Amino acid sequence: MEISSLERLSDTAWRIAPFGAMRVPAVIYADEALIRDMDDKVFEQVTNVATLPGIVEASYAMPDAHWGYGFPIGGVAAFDPGKGGVISAGGVGFDISCGVRTLLTGLDAAEVKQQRQPLADALFERIPAGVGSTGRVHLNEPQMDAMLRGGARWAVEQGYGDPDELQRIEERGHMAGAVPENVSVKARKRQRNEMGTLGSGNHYLEVQEIVELFDVDTARVFGLDRGMAVVSIHCGSRGLGHQIGTEFLRDMAIAAADQGIVLPDRELACAAIDSEIGHRYLGAMRAAINCAMANRQIIGELTRSVFTDVLPSARLRLLYDVSHNTCKIEAHEVGGVRLELYVHRKGATRAFGPGNPALPDALRDVGQPVLIGGSMGTCSYVLVGTAESETRAFSSACHGAGRQMSRHQAYRRWKGRQVVDDLAARGIIVRSPSSRGVAEEAPGAYKDVDAVVDAAERAGLARKVARLSPIACIKG
């Protein structure tokens, strides 16, 4: 990206003044190196978002931002329904409520490494991964409705996990306002046999070692210790969420024209929050959020059962489960006034600071865990939300490393077998049903996660707590 078109606010904040139809400025959080390496589409998309009706304060992009569908991935924007604000399926994304769940094993990583081979084999056998993967959970229509309404709470009621875990899931495991009736027959059919599965693309289950602590006091509250083994699960609402996104993007493109909304890009299809289609999408999207939370809850319990078999002394305790790709109603201060806003986060993580009432008692004094996935073979991070993050981007942070090349480019450059062998030489086991999928997700296809996280911390979006290094990765 050419930085001459940006106003430098700080070492890690860049402003684009309103031009053309922009209603608010755009702000990109990144250091100079990350900004220069960002594709020009980020500039185009973050400014396009700033033209949408009812947007408040600014259109934001996180340090991992890259080109997406309509909104940039790493995009954050909030809309005021009282000012004609809109909801955009492109501002949520296709993989609704894709997110990360991190479990603490209570084991020393050295002990886990001794069993990494049978552990990886058992995880790969018990937790289906890949395009079109199906699991052992099969839902009829009443069960589908119950899952879409209940989320992780429903999964716990079915015997997947402990009720106490719900306190450490965003929305306490249940997204209110879901309307299963707004989810199409086709979306339901796609999900009927996909619960408890990882899917494909950048989704994974990774066994990791805590290799560095940055904030010892917060780490102690989170239950993290150097040398401990943890498990991170990254997945979402699978075929159901994708189908909802596909259908509503099409319908919203028509609705926008009918409502007199001028779109700079058809991919920004949206509708007034208070419109009939706006309400229908909210009900369906919230059902998809529940689907994703239920899916991760099931996978978490399947993971626990594998550890029980391979490493019986393990006690997998949930640190936190947080979503990306959502639109949530949240109270934020804008111009000295507290407003109820519809906050879109696409490829971005909620990062509430200390004292937020949405956090469980055990975490409220320190802030929300912010779980940052790395790319396969590189480090991941645990961060924590800060008090100042509220003033940065509606309490939002980056969600991962962010791609720096397309999947097609990665596939042309790397071979899956070679990636697996290279990682094995470093002591990292990879299990995947797709050689192509491994090539597309090669570590080199992503930005430097260390640089992304450093920029997020320096920008005040979140603070580093721990760095995690991979031991074994189950990849879709």
Q: pLDDT tens across 407-461, in order?
A: 999 999 999 999 999 999 999 999 999 999 999 999 999 999 999 999 999 999 9
Residue-averaged pLDDT of the chain: 96
8 Å CB contact between 84 and 117: no
Measured between alpha carbons, how far is 344 from 90 in angstroms, rounded to an integer?
10
| Res 130: pLDDT | 82
pLDDT at 133 over 90: no
Residue 123 identity (one-letter amino acid):
L
| Res 376: pLDDT | 85
pLDDT grade for 132, boundaries at 50, 70 and 90 = confident
Measured between alpha carbons, how far is 446 from 380 in angstroms, rounded to an integer?
13
Measured between alpha carbons, how far is 397 from 310 in angstroms, rounded to an integer?
36
Q: In 311-379, where does DSSP find H-type helix?
A: 361-364
Region 21-43 average pLDDT:
96
Measured between alpha carbons, how far is 445 from 414 in angstroms, rounded to an integer?
9
pLDDT at 390 over 90: no
| Res 115: pLDDT | 97
For the chain, list the domains and their CATH numbers.
3-475 (3.90.1860.10)
Please name every residue paired with 75 in a beta bridge, in sequence order, or none if there are none: 61, 346
Three-class SS state of 384 = strand
pLDDT at 135 over 90: no
Dihedral over Cα of 32, 37, 40, 42: its sign: negative
Measured between alpha carbons, how far is 151 from 171 in angstroms, rounded to an integer?
10
| Res 272: pLDDT | 97
Residue with tokens 């640089």: 451
Region 220-224 average pLDDT:
98
Region 40-66 average pLDDT:
97
SS3 content of the chain, % helix, strand, coil (to 5): 40, 25, 35
8 Å CB contact between 120 and 208: no
Indicate which residue of 66, 203, 324, 399 is catalytic.
Answer: 399
Kindly give the pairing relationship between strand 326-334 and strand 337-346: antiparallel
Measured between alpha carbons, how far is 218 from 464 in angstroms, rounded to an integer?
10
pLDDT grade for 375, boundaries at 50, 70 and 90 = confident
**243: which 2 tokens?**
């189908």
pLDDT at 201 over 90: no
Over its C-alpha atoms, the chain yields an Rg (Å, rounded) of 21
Region 177-189 average pLDDT:
98
Region 159-167 average pLDDT:
97
| Res 113: pLDDT | 97
pLDDT grade for 377, boundaries at 50, 70 and 90 = confident
| Res 441: pLDDT | 92
Share of the chain above pLDDT 70, in %: 100
pTM value > 0.85: yes
Region 141-149 average pLDDT:
98
Catalytic site includes residue 399: yes
| Res 299: pLDDT | 97
Measured between alpha carbons, how far is 84 from 97 in angstroms, rounded to an integer?
25
| Res 476: pLDDT | 81
150: closest CA among 186, 193, 195, 114? Answer: 195
Measured between alpha carbons, how far is 314 from 309 in angstroms, rounded to an integer?
10
Model confidence pLDDT, tens digit, residues 358-371: 999 999 999 999 99
Helices and strands, number each (H, E), in the chain: 16, 19
* CA distance to 96, 240, 385, per residue, from 235 (Å): 10, 13, 22
pLDDT grade for 173, boundaries at 50, 70 and 90 = very high
Model confidence pLDDT, tens digit, residues 275-296: 999 999 999 999 999 999 999 9
| Res 158: pLDDT | 97
| Res 461: pLDDT | 97
CB 251: neighbour CB atoms within 10 A?
16
Region 175-188 average pLDDT:
98
Region 76-87 average pLDDT:
97
